[in-house]
Chain A
Amino acid sequence: MSSAVAVERLTKTYGDLTVVDTISFSIETGKIYGLLGRNGAGKTTILQMLTAQIFATSGELRVFGEKPYENRRVLSQICFIRENQKYPDSFRVKDILALSESFFPRWDREYARLLSEDFQLPLKRRMKALSKGMLSSVGIVVGLASRAPLTIFDEPYMGLDVVGRSLFYDRLIEDYAEHPRTIVLSTHLIDEVSRLLEHVLVIDKGRLVLDEDADTLRARAFTVTGPVSKVETFTAGKTLIGGEQFGSLVSALLLGKADADDRKQAAALGLEFTAVSLQQLIVHLTGGTAQRKVLEIR
């Protein structure tokens, strides 16, 4: 499969501060990618480089096989919906839609109208008079109706409630199924979007820590819980990536696909066996929980 984005040793520094640190990855066309990580991990900076809004300090970057900087042919194929997108004060919602129509070659006017109804957008209201949720809805409508070959949503749901976010996911899946294209969802709300993703890129402190098929990750880790000595017997020779203590019990997080023998051994030792969700695994990999060193972690 050809790649929509190819990034090689991409780095962005501001003075002494390295925001993006020698990252390499590619994004295949026609898939939904998740760019995941904590706030401040460097996700938005990566996206700004992909969309030619800022220059990389070093590294190679190709979008649809070309350098994106001042490249109209490439840029007209990209739709980047940013968190807190700024709009000219005098513009009304319908002006934004008209402007988008002139910019995106594959814009679907009828679909934009239907989406505006779904999200109950007041078309004649000025952008500066919109609530946060409505501003986000405008971004979502533009992002979906653009049908851009590379559509990027960077935390697109500020101020949107659960119903609004669910509507976004519904419309995204429906429209993607009919018009497959490359979509990147950048977010820290991993639990909500993980089901939509085919592939996951996890960024932590400017580095790429995970580049993997999403469904593969769901069977990638598990925990066993029980008395320390029993847990240590079980974890011997296995890849331990974390541990937590609850009173006299410890819980060990292990990397790998648990097979029937693992389950039998855990049961025989009287250990409790739990599967780990995609979100839990990523939280762990990005240091979201303070880990006390209760077991010797290899």
Chain B
Amino acid sequence: MKHLIDDRRPIFVQIGERIEEDILNGRLAEEEQVPSTNQFASLYQINPATAAKGVNLLVDQGILYKKRGVGMFVAAGSHAKLLEKRREQFFEQYVVTMIQEAKKLGIEEEQLIQMIQRGAKTV
């Protein structure tokens, strides 16, 4: 697991993304307990304070919530909330980037749309 951490981006952000990913693909259900900060630290061989910062990032966004003396849990409605957030990011991350690359390669808009349709059938 250790090599899954990328040293070019803040680690707490990456921990937050991992948890988000687990919620999105159903590995972590709503109202389920998430691993403790120390478990994240051991798993990824990272500083516990950094792991805590990643978890708190999601607490601030209302994705996780704290049960006193028990631990962190996935908040109800967080799956839908994350989907919404990821869909917004999708445009910036994929659509805009794809169009820039297409322009560079001289692919016309019409051609690009055809390619997307072809891709949608095969993938």
Contact = CB atoms under 8 A, between A and B. Distances in A.
A278 B7 contact: yes
Q: Which of A173, A198, A276, A278 has the most CB of B within 10 A?
A: A173
Interface string A205-234: 000000000111011000000000000000
Interface string B34-55: 0001100110111111100100
Contacts of B12: 215
A60 B62 CA distance: 46
Interface residues of B, number: 24
Interface in B1-18: 2, 5, 7-12
Given A177-B38, A198-B50, A267-B100, A218 B9 contact: yes
A121 interface: no
A170 B42 contact: yes
B interface secondary structure, majority: helix
A31 to B, nearest CB: 7
Contacts of A174: 38, 42
Interface stretch (A14-22, A189-197, A290-298): A189-197
A32 interface: yes
A200 B77 CA distance: 39
A219 B42 CA distance: 23
B103 to A, nearest CB: 10
Contacts of B49: 31, 198
A169 interface: yes
Given A215-B50, A267-B100, A173 B7 contact: no
B104 interface: yes
Nearest to B49: A198
Contacts of A178: 38
A275 interface: yes
A176 B48 contact: yes
Contact of B7 (A194, A260, A270): A194
Nearest to A173: B41
Interface of B: 2, 5, 7-12, 37-38, 41-42, 44-50, 53, 92, 97, 100, 104
Given A215-B53, A279-B7, 8 more contacts: A173-B45, A173-B48, A196-B47, A216-B10, A218-B11, A260-B92, A275-B9, A278-B8
